[in-house]
Amino acid sequence: MFYCIVCSKLHKQKLVDSRVFKNGFYIDPFRGQKFPLGICEVNKNLEWYWDDFKIS
């Protein structure tokens, strides 16, 4: 499960073209759970994100 920084939604699974960052987490204010940050498959055309961050 990861939190997309572009669409601001939690995604239950990592899709084929999704990117998840090595460092960076979102903490849900209601549940207190920690989720890795990423960019979902829908927003994969935003390639300028790929160059600015370390991606796993």
Classify burial at 49, counting beta carbons within 10 Å of its beta carbon; exposed 0-12, middle 13-18, buried 19 or more: middle
pTM over 0.75: no
**pLDDT value at position 18?**
80
pLDDT, tens digit, 9 for 90 and up, residues 2-54: 998 888 888 887 666 788 888 999 999 999 999 999 888 776 555 555 555 54
**pLDDT value at position 46?**
57
* Helices and strands in the chain, H and E counts: 1, 4
